[in-house]
Amino acid sequence: MSTEPTGELPSRTVLLAAPRSFCAGVERAIHAVERLLDAPGRRAPVYVRKQIVHNTHVVAGLAARGAVFVEELDAVPEGATVVFSAHGVSPEVREQARERGLTVVDATCPLVTKVHSEARRFAARGDTVVLIGHAGHEEVEGTLGEAPQAMLLVETAEQAAGLEVADPSRVSYLTQTTLAVDETAGVVRALRGRFPLLQSPPGDDICYATTNRQLAVEAVADRADLVLVVGSANSSNSVRMVEVVRRGGTQAHLIDDASGIDPAWLAGARVIGLSAGASAPPELVAGVIEALGAHGAVTVEELTTTVEDVNFAPPAPVRDPS
């Protein structure tokens, strides 16, 4: 691995983007698993379908405490307790859980549930519903499952411009909650050019946390020589943050934790922007700052673009009785 030149280590500013790290939906999902694991007298395993959130450290930490992560419900014993991840599931998965007699704790983010509700409503009124999102993502699979006969997935503006539907006068769109705001706007413009009567969701489907973190990291990038985003490679919102910075012309890298820093990236970087995706634990950010300190004196500044005060109630099965 490349290293910086020997001699006196440089002094740097680490410019922290705020908001960063956990959002309300992620905290709600993680706490749901933690409450089940901490339940007095618990003897049976707590199963979680898929990763509860897309972060390797979160999943490893919960697994170390006894959570059992499975890909599909056929790996869960009949009658056991299973947690649905923050990304949501399709009605088909819910039916499978009922058939197996599973006790379900649904940790789907309420903002994903909102998109599911819109999909059902738009399909029920006879629309072709275009879902803007990334194929294969768990959130997309769950949303498509709400009305598979009426929904089409579009990933790019080029796909949108060439889309064919049965009735061009009855088309609506929804989006995955973790997309890049600027790219999604381009896809919507292409859809509107193709279908002038296109109907929008009543409010933005890209969630507040995704939008806020993109705006914050953009603000940091305007002053930085390099931006580091803490998050796992399968975290859509984290990957989008890196892409947004790069489109603005600033070098950016996604790292799972401090061990992912390549010292070669630091050469010539006197201001390093630092943020974290909505599923990345805050302590990983502190670890990156500590690691950067090994490469020279570090002054930490925080740039706040907005303050988040969103909270979601826990899933009903793990709420305090009071």
Tokens of 117: 């509700």
Q: Tell me the C-alpha distance between 110 and 314, whole Å.
A: 10
Question: Is the distance from CB of 204 to CB of 176 less than 8 angstroms?
Answer: no
Query: β-strands 67-70, 81-84: how paired?
Result: unpaired
Whole-Å CA distances, 233 to 16, 90, 179 = 21, 24, 15
Please tell me which residue in 139, 141, 146, 218 is annotated as part of the active site.
139
Is 283 labeled as catalytic in the residue annotation?
A: no
Q: What share of the chain is helix, strand, coil (3-state, %, to 5)?
A: 40, 20, 45
Helix (H) or strand (E) run with residue 152 in it:
strand 151-154
Q: Which residues contact 209 (CB under 8 A, 6 or more apart)?
A: 19, 23, 24, 25, 237, 278, 308, 310
Q: Tell me the C-alpha distance between 240 and 214, whole Å.
A: 8
The catalytic residues are 139
